[in-house]
Amino acid sequence: MPFDYEKTWDELSAERRTLVEQRTTLENELNEIRTKIAHLEEILNHLEPLAGIPWLESIAGMGITDAIRAVLSRTKDSLSAQDVRQSLLQGGFDMSGLTQPMASIYKVLARLVDDSKEAERQKDESGKVTYRWKRTEPTEITDDDIPF
C-alpha cells in the first residue's frame, strides 16, 4: 500500500493553519492585556502621590534607564547589578519585553557611569562590583541667585 503524501500534506497544512489562528488569537489577547496594563500603570502613577505610595512602586511605568536611575538615586547604599534587578522587580518593573534583562541592566549602568557620569562603579573588599548614585552637594544660595 503506497504512502499517501497528499493526505499527509493536507493534515499537516490543516494543523499549521489551526496553530497560526491560535497564535493570532493569543497575540491579540496579549496586546489587549498590555494595553490594559499600560492604562492601569498610568492611573496608578496619578494616584500614587495622593495615596502616599512609596517611590519604588512608581518605577513600573518607566523606561529601563529612568527606572535604574530612580533605584540608584533613591538608595544610599551601593548596589550590585543583581540588587538593581531585584529592586526593579520589587517595584513592578516589567522585564518581559527584554530578551536579556541582565545585559540591559549592565549596559544602562555602564552608560550611567561612563557616559553621563551620574553614577559611579566601585569594588568592595571581595572584588564585587557595585554601583552608587553620585550625590551632589547642595550649593549655597546667595542674594545674587534670587531673581527679585
Who has greater pLDDT, 102 or 49? 102
**Would the CA dihedral through 60, 101, 87, 71 be positive or negative?**
negative
Full-model pTM:
0.58
Q: Tell me the average pLDDT across 46-66.
A: 74
- CA dist 38 and 28 (Å) reads 15
Residue 138 has pLDDT above 80, yes or no: no
Decide: helix, strand or coil at residue 28.
Answer: helix
CATH number of 56-135: 1.10.10.10
- Beta strands in the chain, from DSSP E residues, in sequence order: 119-123, 129-133
